[in-house]
Structure 1
C-alpha cells in the first residue's frame, strides 16, 4: 500500500508536545493527515476509549477504506514503524 493511498487521522490537543511532534513528523514527510482536536472537547476522549481503550493523545489512525490501525504508543518511532508496515 503506497503512503499516498493511506488515510491518516491524528487525534490531538493544543499544548500537547507529543501531538506537535507527530504532526510535524508527518508534515516533514509530506504525508497529509486529518487532525481531530480534543481541546475543549473531552467528550471525544470517550470515542478513543470505546475504540482503543485509551483516553490520551496523540492517537494516530492509519488505514485505507474501513481498515484502520491505531498507534496509541507515544513517540514518533511507533508512527514510523506503522507506516513501514503499510
Structure 2
C-alpha cells in the first residue's frame, strides 16, 4: 500500500451500519484510517457537537499530512465520502 497524502479519521460506534459501510469503503479503496469509537463514550459526542454541530456518527475527518487543514464529511452515506475523497471538496470546514 502506498503512503497516502492525507489522514483519515472515522468517528463511529459499534453496531452502526452506516459506520461499517464507511469503513468497508475505505478498506476497498486501500485507504488507511484511524477509528474513534464513541460507543459508551458520550463525552465524545460533545466533541463532535462542538466541532461540527452534530452528535451522530459516522463523521469522517480528512486531513492533509503536509498542511494543517482538514475537512469533515458529516452527511450520512458513502456517496458523500466518495465525493469528498474524489474531488478534495471542502464538505465542512474546521
* Fold match by TM threshold 0.5: yes
2:76 pairs with 46, 49, 74, which one?
A: 74
TM-score, scaled relative to structure 1: 0.93
Unaligned runs of 5+ in 1: none
List structure 1 runs of 4+ shifted beyond 2 angstroms: none
Which has the higher relative contact order, 1 or 2, with Cα contacts under 8 A spaced 6 or more apart?
1
Computed over aligned residues only, the root mean square deviation of the Cα atoms, in angstroms, reads 1.1
Shift of 1:85: 1.6
Separation in 1, partners of 2:30, 2:48: 26
2:61 matched to which residue of 1?
A: 61
Paired residues, what number?
A: 84
